[in-house]
Structures are given as C-alpha cells and as structure tokens.
Amino acid sequence: MARFIDRVVLHLQAGDGGHGCASVHREKFKPLGGPDGGNGGHGGDVILEVSPQIHTLMDFHYRPHIKAGRGGNGAGDWRNGARGEDLIMEVPAGTVVYSEKGDMLADLTVPGTRFIAAEGGFGGLGNAALASSQRKAPGFALQGEPGQAHDLILELKSMADVGLVGFPSAGKSSLISVLSAAKPKIGDYPFTTLQPNLGVVDMGNESFTIADVPGLIPGAAEGKGLGLDFLRHIERTAVLAHVVDTATMEPGRDPMSDIEALEKELEEYQQLLDNDTGLGDLKNRPRIIILNKADVPEAQELAEFVKEDLEEKFGWPVFIISAVARKGLDPLKYKLLEMVKKHRRTQPKVKADKNKTIIHPLAVGKKKGHFADFHVKADPQVEGGFIVEGEKIDRWITQTDFENEEAIGYLADRLARAGVEDKLFKLGAVEGCPVTIGGITFEWEPMTGGNATDAGRGFDGRLHSTDRMSAAERKRASQARRGLIDELDFGDEDKIVTREQANRDRWQG
C-alpha cells in the first residue's frame, strides 16, 4: 500500500556560479591585445512547481537532499560559461512552504505556479567586463558566488471538498470505502487510520473529493494522540462532516457530547491558524452530521431519538446511515454535492497557470537610492576591531580572489565607493586595525589620496615585464648577421658591459 507523506524537510543546495576568466587576447604581431576573459555562468535554481499529477510528498521523503547544477567557468576569447541547469521539482496542489524558523514563504495552490526554493549563485565577471578607462587591462577576474544552501519544510494540506471528522472507530474509513473507490484500512480498534485517506465520489457528470482526518480526539490540538499531524487537512475543505458512532458502548459517550467535544477541539485549533493566511475560518465552514452504524438496532433507535435535538441545537443537516449495510447513502451523497457546489459558486475560479508565474522568496538586495546597504559596528571580541555587515558587501568578499594583489585592490576600491572607509573613519578606525567582512578578518589599509576611482592598486605583471628584445637589440642582431658589426664585441674588455650599455654604432672593422 502506498504511503501518504504530507510533511517533509528538504535540504536544498542551489548551483554555484562559475568563475570569471582572466585572459589576454593574443594573435600574430599582437601578443597583448587586451583582456578577453568571459564571465562565469549563473548557478541553477531549485524550483518547486505545482502539478495536478502529484498527490503526495513521497518522492521528497525518500530523496530530501536536492542539488542544482553548477554554472560553467568563463574562458578566453570572450566566451561566457554556461548557466547551470535549474532543478524543477513537482509538488501537489495545497503545498505550503515554511522556512526553518517556521515562517510561511509560499502557499502553492494553483497548478503551474513556481516557487524558487533556492537561488543559484551569480557567475563571476571576467576581466573583459572589468576593463574601464582607469583599469584598461585587469589581470584578475571575479569568482562565482556559492548558491543558496538551506532547509525548507513542505506541508501538504489536502484540497478535499469534504472533510470527515469524528472519534476513532466512528466509521470514517468505512464511509469513504463505500462512497468512493478508495480502499483504506478498516478496523475496530482506536487509531486504525494513521494517515489521511482521500477518495473521489462520482455523481454522474459531477464529482467531489472526500477525505478523513485521523486522530481527532479531545486534546489533539495540544498534542494528545496523533496531535496536530493531520488536523491541517481540514483547513481547506469546503464542508466538514461529523461522523458519529451511535453504537458505541463507552461510558460518557453520546452523539451530542461527541460533537461538542470535537467542535471545541476545532475551535482551539483555529487559534493556531491566526498567523496563516487564505485558509478561511473553521467556525464558518458548513457542517453536516452523519449518524453512522444504523445497522445495529440500538444505534438506529438512538439516532432517530437524537436527530431532532441535534438539528435544533446545531442547525445542521442530520443523516442516519449505515456504511456497512450501505443504507441511506444516496440522500447523503446528493446533499454533500449540493453543499460543495454552493461553496464552489462562491469561490473564484482557479485555472491552471499557463504563464508559469514565479514566486520569489523574501525580497533581498539593495534599497532604492542606495549603492550598497551595510552596517559597521565594533567587534565585541577583538579590541579596536570592527565588523562590517551587509549582503552586497559579503557578496563582494566571496567574489574576490585573495591570491591576486590587483583583485584585492579592486575590492578596496569598491568598499571605498560604497562608503565603508568613511564610516570606519567616523567610528575611530586607524590604519592596521582588524576589520572583519564576510567572515574574513584583515588589517585595514585605507586608501591614500581619497580618490576611489584610482586604479593604482595592484598591477598586471604581464604588462610590466617582458623578455622581448628591444628595437635597438633587434637592429644590432640584424647588423651582426649581415656582418656589419662584431657580434661578440660589447665594448671595453676590461669591464662587464650589459646589453643596454653596449656600443651599437656601425662597425668599421
């Protein structure tokens, strides 16, 4: 028998961004033709998409660790890295996404809607994209950012039209088995049903879905019995049906007290939903009372005796049935269909989202009008130290190759433009004090001259040193090959003369 999984914890890892490339264009007679390093590709996202073909979270139960593809690295000749492949995971309608702290992030009810559960890292820029009028030949590139890695909680809240509530062994599973083609486990002992059962009731050209909620007993909202594990499945139902066992022999049990006890439990559970949205109010949900097990003579007599009292006290329709004997089912089915259709007419029509609407997590990034938001505070663990916090500032740290002197200088320029140095000066920072940014601590070296656009930090060794012969040396070698000068004569034999100091006049020997 297939398991019904309605709550899972996912361990997500979005794809890392690819690294940018530091490359110099080379061709014949043009060995240093400028930077041509391409950008790294963005990492793949982990996306949840609502699918009408999926009904449980079972796949996630067995494969909770999910990882998207990594972005490709950039290459020379202005070639950008490939974007990492997105990983699209299908979830059933009615899935609610929560953060690790329990905050609701998305309520996925419309087929086709997508939610970005984990965003891939940005690819690093190549040195071609970093070139500017001040830095014409960058000898570095930015590294790719790591993709988001966190845990999310998925909960499935059934989208059934009718929810059956009642004490254990009241006959909810039996009722579903005779109204639909579902084959739930049936027994005469408490908590036979340990997972919700869902069935479809066909009524000619029309149909509706019905589900039972196991474990609803006094104290369930406080964790007694099966607790809150399955109460979530009644939040979206159009109609709540009380299934009452009229043949029970337990002391203190009767139809009136059973319904009152469960209504009190539902009222307490409603208080737990105050922070939830879009689920309606359980108090205003239409109700119906089903007096079951009328195949037992004493139960039939009790049901007929209390029917008028129940209708007068609660004002809900009351039906006397026997699921085992299949007695009184047709009037019940038509009444349930009538109530469901009435509810559907009051609800907006939900169509499949053909445009694949994408729901992003909580908004991140810079505020409007600000280059980069950050906060500087004194380091409580290091005397005279400071900590710089800010999402964009932390991203700059992850993009920097600290093995490259010019890349470090570029980072310092970005921090200066963002106002980090000015803020440190105002807080009393001095040169050499420890500053921590993005988990990395370094000795602070403020910019000299105060011009944040200077490109004097770092250098590209390929542009400042070369083994190529100078024009004068090439001319002398040519003259030596033609016999115009003595190739071995570099001047006075009594002293060592370098190539640069050698006599390059035309040889007259």
Query: Looking at the structure, do residues 204 and 331 belong to the same domain, yes or no?
Result: yes
Q: Does the annotation flag 170 for ligand binding?
A: yes
Residue finishing a domain among 96, 123, 156:
156
Kindly state the DSSP code that residue 375 receives in the 8-state scheme. Answer: E
Query: Looking at the structure, do residues 189 and 325 belong to the same domain, yes or no?
Result: yes
How many Å separate Cα 142 from the centre of its chain? 25
Q: Is residue 241 part of a domain?
A: yes
Q: Is residue 448 part of a domain?
A: yes
Q: Does the annotation flag 467 for ligand binding?
A: no
Alpha carbon distance 480, 475 (integer Å): 9
The helix (H) or strand (E) run that includes residue 107 is: strand 104-108
Q: Is residue 355 part of a domain?
A: no
Alpha carbon distance 508, 34 (integer Å): 43
Q: Does the annotation flag 180 for ligand binding?
A: no
Kindly state the DSSP code that residue 95 receives in the 8-state scheme. Answer: E
Taking each helix axis from N to C terminus, what angle separates 297-314 and 255-271, rounded to the nearest 10 degrees? Answer: 50
Query: Looking at the structure, do residues 206 and 126 belong to the same domain, yes or no?
Result: no
Q: Is residue 398 part of a domain?
A: yes
Residue finishing a domain among 156, 187, 219:
156
Q: Of 61, 97, 231, 235, give the one whose Cα is nearest residue 159.
A: 235
Residue type, 110: V
Number of domains in the chain: 4
Query: Looking at the structure, do residues 151 and 174 belong to the same domain, yes or no?
Result: no
Distances (CA, A) of 61 to 4, 150, 205, 394: 10, 17, 36, 34
Alpha carbon distance 402, 395 (integer Å): 14
Q: Does residue 49 sit in helix, strand or coil?
A: strand
Contacts of 63 (CB under 8 A, 6+ apart): none
pLDDT per residue as tens, the chain (509 positions)? 344 566 899 999 999 999 999 998 888 777 778 899 999 999 999 999 998 888 778 888 889 999 999 999 999 999 999 999 999 999 988 888 988 888 888 888 888 889 999 999 999 999 999 988 888 889 899 999 999 999 999 987 766 788 888 887 788 888 888 888 656 555 444 444 445 677 778 887 888 888 887 655 555 445 554 445 556 667 778 888 999 888 887 777 888 988 888 888 777 766 655 544 444 567 778 899 999 988 888 889 999 999 999 999 989 999 999 988 888 999 999 999 999 888 878 766 656 666 666 777 654 444 444 455 788 888 888 888 899 988 888 889 999 998 888 898 888 888 888 888 888 888 888 888 898 988 888 888 876 434 434 444 445 555 455 566 778 888 888 888 887 777 676 655 444 444 555 455 554 44
User: Which ranges constitute the DSSP H helices of 152-283?
Assistant: 172-179, 255-271
User: Which ranges constitute the DSSP H helices of 244-387?
Assistant: 255-271, 297-314, 329-346
Q: Report whether 190 contacts 167 (CB < 8 A).
A: no
Q: What pLDDT is stored for residue 449 in this prediction?
A: 39
Q: Is residue 363 part of a domain?
A: no
pLDDT tens digits along 174-198: 888 888 865 655 544 444 444 567 7
Q: Report whether 435 contacts 424 (CB < 8 A).
A: yes
Question: Phi first, then psi: what are they for 443, rounded to 5°?
Answer: -80, 130
Residue finishing a domain among 329, 346, 363:
346
pTM of the model: 0.65
Q: Does the annotation flag 214 for ligand binding?
A: yes
Q: What pLDDT is stored for residue 229 in this prediction?
A: 53
Q: Does the annotation flag 300 for ligand binding?
A: no
Q: Does the annotation flag 172 for ligand binding?
A: yes
Full residue range of the structural domain in which residue 481 is found: 469-509
For residue 436, the domain's CATH number is: 3.30.300.350
Alpha carbon distance 367, 365 (integer Å): 7
Q: Does the annotation flag 195 for ligand binding?
A: yes
For residue 241, the domain's CATH number is: 3.40.50.300
Kindly state the DSSP code that residue 322 receives in the 8-state scheme. Answer: B
Alpha carbon distance 478, 313 (integer Å): 116
Alpha carbon distance 442, 385 (integer Å): 10
Which residues face 152 on adjacent strands? 10
- Give the CA count within 13 Å in the CB-facing half-sphere of 439: 4
Which residues face 437 on adjacent strands? 388, 440
CA distance between the termini of the chain: 106
Kindly state the DSSP code that residue 484 receives in the 8-state scheme. Answer: S
Q: Does the annotation flag 215 for ligand binding?
A: yes
Q: Does the annotation flag 193 for ligand binding?
A: yes
Kindly state the DSSP code that residue 30 receives in the 8-state scheme. Answer: B
Kindly state the DSSP code that residue 439 receives in the 8-state scheme. Answer: T
Query: Backbone dihedral region of 78: left (phi > 0), alpha (psi from -120 to 50 degrees) or beta?
Result: left
DSSP 395-408: HHHHH--TT-HHHH
Query: Looking at the structure, do residues 310 and 441 belong to the same domain, yes or no?
Result: no
Q: Does the annotation flag 323 for ligand binding?
A: yes
Q: Does the annotation flag 294 for ligand binding?
A: yes
The position carrying tokens 């009292």 is 309
Q: Does the annotation flag 322 for ligand binding?
A: yes
Query: Looking at the structure, do residues 178 and 222 belong to the same domain, yes or no?
Result: yes
Query: Looking at the structure, do residues 475 and 459 belong to the same domain, yes or no?
Result: no
Query: Looking at the structure, do residues 402 and 493 belong to the same domain, yes or no?
Result: no
For residue 32, the domain's CATH number is: 2.70.210.12
Query: Looking at the structure, do residues 109 and 221 belong to the same domain, yes or no?
Result: no
Dihedral angle computed from the Cα positions of residues 43, 49, 55 and 61, in that order, rounded to the nearest 10 degrees: 20
CB-based burial label for 198 (10 Å; 0-12, 13-18, 19+): buried
Q: What pLDDT is stored for residue 495 in this prediction?
A: 43
Query: Looking at the structure, do residues 295 and 341 belong to the same domain, yes or no?
Result: yes
Q: Does the annotation flag 168 for ligand binding?
A: yes
Q: Is residue 370 part of a domain?
A: no
Q: What pLDDT is stored for residue 379 in this prediction?
A: 87
Alpha carbon distance 418, 410 (integer Å): 13
Q: Is residue 72 part of a domain?
A: yes
Q: Does the annotation flag 386 for ligand binding?
A: no
Q: Does the annotation flag 295 for ligand binding?
A: yes
Q: Does the annotation flag 173 for ligand binding?
A: yes
Q: Is residue 499 part of a domain?
A: yes
Alpha carbon distance 152, 283 (integer Å): 30
Q: Report whether 438 contacts 146 (CB < 8 A).
A: no
Q: What pLDDT is stored for residue 279 in this prediction?
A: 47
How many Å separate Cα 10 from the centre of its chain? 10
| H and E: helices and strands count for the chain | 11, 19
Beta-strand ranges (E) seen in 213-299 are 239-245, 287-292
Query: Looking at the structure, do residues 152 and 212 belong to the same domain, yes or no?
Result: no
Query: Looking at the structure, do residues 126 and 206 belong to the same domain, yes or no?
Result: no
DSSP 249-268: --TT--HHHHHHHHHHHHHH
